[in-house]
Structure formats: C-alpha cells, structure tokens
Amino acid sequence: MANDNKRKYSSLIVDGVEHAPSRAMLHAVGFEDADFNKPQVGIASTWSMVTPCNMHINRLAEDAGQGVDEAGGKSIIFNTITVSDGISMGTPGMRYSLVSREVIADSIETVTGAQGFDGVVAIGGCDKNMPGCMIALARLNRPGIFVYGGTIKPGARRRDIVSVFEAVGGYAAGKVTDEELHEVEQTAIPGPGSCGGMYTANTMASAIEALGMSLPNSSAQEAVSDAKKNDCHRAGEAVMNLIEKDIKPLDIMTREAFENAITVVIALGGSTNAVLHLLGMAHTAGIKLELDDFTRIGARVPVLADVKPSGKYLMSELIEIGGIQPLMKTLLDAGLLHGDCMTVTGKTMAENLADVAPYAEGQDIVRPLDDPIKKDSHLVILYGNLAPTGAVAKISGKEGLSFTGNARVFESEEEALHAILDGTVVKHDVIVIRHEGPVGGPGMREMLSPTGAIMGKGMGKDVALITDGRFSGGSHGFVVGHVTPEAAVGGPIAVVETGDGITIDAEKREISLNIPQEELEKRLAEWKAPAPKETRGILAKYAKLVSSASEGAVTDKF
C-alpha cells in the first residue's frame, strides 16, 4: 500500500505492517483488501427518529456513500446527534438546541480526526445540524461537502409547524375550537423533511449553497424526491473530485463567499438565526465577520422572495419555479454576488450560474429587483443603551418600522407565554424576556411559542417583543432578539423594569430604554449576577465557554 496525496490521512491509519490491527478491525466492517488503497470518505449522517427533519437521512447517507464508492473511494457512514427545535420549543429542553450545534461539530471533528478520513460528506436536515456540520468541515479543512436533507411537503391547506403554534394562540383567543386545533395538529406535518417556510433550516441550506459548500440546487429539493437522492449521489462523486484537486473548505469559505451567503439570506427574507450561525461559521473559518457586515450588505440588497413566515409561499412552491439558482443569477448579474468564488463543484459561482435560466413569466414568489418586497434588508442590526453591543431584529415592514411602548418584564419564556395567553399582555406592551441568552439560559432558547401566540391572538402589530434569547425562523411580528450584552452577564436588559418606556426604531437602527442615563447607571451599579442555573453537565460547560451572541455564540473563542 503506497502513501499518496489522495490518502493523506487514511494512509496514516492503514498503511504498513504496524497498522495490521487497524486493517483487521476494518475488515470486520466490510473492507476488502483493495479498499485500503482508496481514499476514505466519512459520511456524517444526522439521521434520527426524534424528528421528521432527519428521519430519512439514513437513506440519503447510503446514496452519498454509493456515489463515493462508484467514484473510486471507500465510504464509511457514521452518525452524530440531532435534537428537534419544534418538539422542544417552549420547554426547558429547548436549552439544548443551540448547544447541539457545538456537540455536532465536536463529534464530526472527533470521528473524522480519529478515523483518518480523507474527505467528508456531511448531511444535515434541521436547524442546528447544518451550521454544526459546517463548523466541523471548517475545523477539519479536509475536502468536504454539505448536503441538505431537504424540505418537507406542505401539510393540508398548505399548513406547516408554524400553523400549529399560531393555532395555539388562536385557541387562547377563542378563535380556534378544540376540534380545529386537533385537526391542525393532525395534518400540519405530513412526513419527512425540514420545516416548510423560509425558516432556519431552509435559510441555512440556502446560505450554505450560496457559500459554495453544497451543490447547486441542494437547498431547493424536497426531502422525499428523486432530486434529493440524486443530489446525495452527486455529492459523493463531488467529494472525490475535491480530493483529486485538493480543494478544501477554507479554499471555498472566504470573506467574499460569506458575503454571498448574507446577500442570498437577505434576498430570501431568511431567519435571524442566519446571523448567529454565519458569525459562528466565519469564526471557525478564520474570517473576520461582524454584525455591521449585515448592515453594510443589507443597505444594498433587497428582499425579493415572498415566503413564509412574513410572506405567502412555502419552500416547496419556490422549488417548483426553480429554487434559488435563478435568484442567485439575478443577483450575480446585478453585481450583488462575487462570481469568482470557488465552490464544491470545482468551478466558480459564476461558472455554476452561467447557464441558469430566469424564472418563468407570471410567477409572483420572487420579485424582480426593481419591484422588491423591501428595498433593503429585513435583518436589522440595532444598537443603543439597551443593546450596546448589538441586537438583531427581523423587520419586514408589514409590522411598521418603529414601536414605542412600556416594558412588561419576564424572567423566562414560560412566564411570558402564560401572560400572553391569559391576557396580561395588552396593546402597546413591549414584552421583555431575559435570562434566556447563551449564558443565562443556558442555551439561548428560541421564542416561537410566545411569538406564535402573539400572532395567533391577532396582536402582531399591537405589541413588540425583545429578548436576549433568539427566535425561530418561523417567528414574525415586531421582534428583536440577540440583545447583547445579555442579562446574565450584566447587560442593560438585566435592569429594565416593568413600566419603563422602550423605543425600537428600525430606520435609525436604535433600541432605547427611555430612562435618564443616571438612573440606568445607578441600576447597573446595583446589579448582582444571578447564581448559575446549572452547575454540572453540558449546559454548565456551555455557559462557562460560550461567547456572546454578537460573536456567534461559539465555544472555542479563547
């Protein structure tokens, strides 16, 4: 067995007399003698039966493995974890969601590093799988490719998971009966795949495609489809090409590539979670990306896609008109994308898009550049005495561009949800949910239950919600998350009192606590850090290690 550049890592594991024990172990899992001369490719599968987002990925992993094997490599499938945001939402279990991103990254890095794989295909299908996979690929910097597990088909009456959360609010308002709620619950989720709007899963899949780390169209395929099976098979072939050409993730994940990802997220009206995850991925890739980059890019990029949660259409309907490739071609032709960025095809972004046809006449899902839904970004970075190091708002314009009201303060998501459902929260309130940040949660829970209840009760334009936690991609309304510094570390949100005036101004990009500066300084001087909620286990470790949300909430910023 000869060492060669294509087997840069696996040769250290299986070549030579001294590694006969390694080969003996691998014979038992299906290796033939000839396989030891082939590049080994790890297929990182996020298969799990804990959520419909990932329940089909075992089969997709086999398709990817077949692509590797037919292209002359040796595939080895291994698993990492996943948790379900949709199931854990609104419960203490949601604290583990963002934490799972780090566990996924750590586990893929660990297995790949230990086993000496020469390349990696990572397949993710739910919110934290995807950035977790990408962080691992960047850390390893071995030829690698990401595959999206695909979006779910629409439920009855074009329902999805957000339909259920909003039906709960409708039930509390007396607008939805027991029978209607049960019918929505029974029909919203018809099978495998990630949540169907431009929520975090579809947002991150689109961002990764724009980044150049997945094959063209990987983000815009249904989970159960021939297109997705073919995507996985081609990804297996593509990683062998990357090994042949020695193209690695950090050759692709450049500053310009991250700007492309941000541009596409904005044009699609994507999730606020993209800010958090792109910052985390860039940190791992050694790229200096900051909150202000989202503002700079957002000033020139319009929102074009009329997709849920703020718009009308589901991802499956965007797929029917061609996915995001025609949108990317439009952005490229307008000078809004960097076309010379390398991608996992071994070609540049411009080369990949060269023959992409425009959307057919008559569709109204993606608007033309001269008739945007919003002329600039819906992702608005706010600063002010309430968020000195930044906050992230999702302002579509439908809810208005400014809001002033009186704070109604809650120390947890559960407290706020109960107050929304029982009528304690009223018109002109600014709901403040604190101690839900990366440290304070610990884990930075998503606030889909409160925002879903607000929309379901018909109060979307009547109240605002701010938090040091974050939002599901399914949240909409006048919402501001990622308020930093967070309450648990003494940020100003920690000393807001019920009744204080708060102003959120998306045009000025400001979030202000309307009290005298001397009073704010007095409160901050008297503030005392709360006792940690967790003292053992993964949540305690996370709280000790995690950085600010404005830095991507990473755990290796030393």
Q: Greater confidence, 455 or 24?
A: 24
> What is the pLDDT at residue 271?
94
Of the candidates 322, 319, 270, the residue with the CA atom closest to the CA atom of residue 297: 270
- Average pLDDT estimate for 120-136: 96
pLDDT classification of 173: cutoffs 50, 70, 90: confident
Question: Which of 24-33, 207-216, 378-387, 453-462 is least confident?
Answer: 453-462
Non-local CB neighbours of 241 within 8 Å, separated by 6+ positions:
71, 346
Q: So what's the pLDDT on residue 1?
A: 43
Distances (CA, A) of 249 to 105, 203, 243: 14, 20, 11
Calculate mean pLDDT across residues 493-509. Answer: 97
pLDDT band at 452 (very low <50, low <70, confident <90, very high): confident
DSSP tag of 464: E
Rg (CA), the chain: 23
Nearest Cα to 264, choosing from 170, 379, 144, 173?
379
- Kindly state the helix (H) or strand (E) to which residue 537 belongs, with its residue range: helix 537-545
Which residue of the set 45, 75, 377, 472 is catalytic? 472
More confident position, 238 or 558: 238
Output the average pLDDT for the chain. Answer: 96
Q: What is the mean pLDDT of residues 246-262?
A: 98
Residue 448 has a pLDDT of 85
What's the pLDDT at 302?
98
Q: Any idea which of 397-406, 442-451, 462-471, 529-538 has the lowest mean pLDDT?
A: 397-406
Average pLDDT over residues 385-411: 92
Mean pLDDT of 282-305: 98
pLDDT category, 5, cuts 50, 70, 90? Answer: confident
Q: Is the pLDDT of residue 3 over 70?
A: no
pLDDT per position as a tens digit, 315-373: 999 999 999 999 999 999 999 999 999 999 999 999 999 999 999 999 999 999 999 99
253: tokens are 């994940």
Q: How confident is the model at residue 233 (pLDDT cuts 50, 70, 90)?
A: very high
Asked if 100 is an active-site residue, the reply is: no
Task: Give the model confidence (pLDDT) of 154-170 as tens digits.
Answer: 999 999 988 998 898 88
CB burial of 518-551 (b: ≥16 within 10 Å; e: otherwise) equals eebeebeeeeeeeeebbeeebbeebbeebbbbbb
Of the pLDDT bands very low, low, confident and very high (cuts 50, 70, 90), residue 399 is: confident
Looking at residue 348, the DSSP 8-state letter turns out to be B
Biggest alpha carbon–alpha carbon distance for the chain: 76
Residue 2 pLDDT > 60: no
- pLDDT given at position 400: 79
Distance (Å) of CA 221 to CA 226, 239, 430: 9, 20, 39
Stated pTM of the model: 0.96
At residue 87, does pLDDT exceed 80?
yes
4 pLDDT above the threshold of 80:
no
**Residues 376-389: what's their mean pLDDT?**
97
pLDDT at 113: 98
